[in-house]
Structure 1
């Protein structure tokens, strides 16, 4: 089994480009065709986070601040009822926004409890490399 960041990114690229054909793509770890790709919309305008995992081996990756492709499964942005997004979704006392219970439980059901695969640390010791700057 290969459970490497670069393998997951390669498979993610394929799923990102054709989210409706994800059932045809094999997991880079266990080779099962049970991958899931769900985007959580952070801001209106199709910007958010990607959760990409295998429902068989329960490994996957998480990418932040990505454009959400057309035809992708999306969990909508959760908007605070009290702040009207004046503070980027936080209430005036800087606490988390109010999340209706039905939306919170839908999120738990749709994003699996998978083990994240992280990028390898560069051997050169150069920490200036931004591992989240992949362009698809």
Structure 2
């Protein structure tokens, strides 16, 4: 299951404007995936990715990933992450 979520990351990286075409690997619903990137670096090229399904509340958190151009990022430190990123059950590499 984790590998399917990695494919979601790849799809976002390739075309962040086509979110409605993504299907949740867990609940199989279309158009329910959302995400944010949190940059570590000044140039916003490396950071964390939070990707989740708004329906089943499952998803992944990836660290030290490239942040693709034209994606949603949070750079304002005054923004509280729990106000824009919902609580979700993290899918881990151990889950098949």
**Higher RCO (CA < 8 A, seq sep 6+):** 2
1:116 aligns with 2:87: no
Give the match's secondary structure for 1:62: strand
What are the residue-to-residue correspondences of 1:1-136 with 2, within 5 Å?
Answer: 4-32=1-29, 33-46=31-44, 47-76=46-75, 78=77, 103-105=78-80, 107-120=81-94
RMSD, aligned α-carbons: 1.6
The structure with more radius of gyration: 1
Query: Matched residue pairs, number?
Result: 93
The answer for unaligned runs of 5 or more in structure 2 is: none
Structure with greater strand share of residues: 2
TM-score between the two structures when normalised by the length of structure 2 = 0.86
* Runs of 4 or more above 3 Å deviation: none
The answer for unaligned runs of 5 or more in structure 1 is: 79-102, 122-136
Distance (Å, rounded) in 2 between the aligned partners of 1:17 and 1:77: 25
Q: Residue 11 of structure 1: CA displacement?
A: 2.1
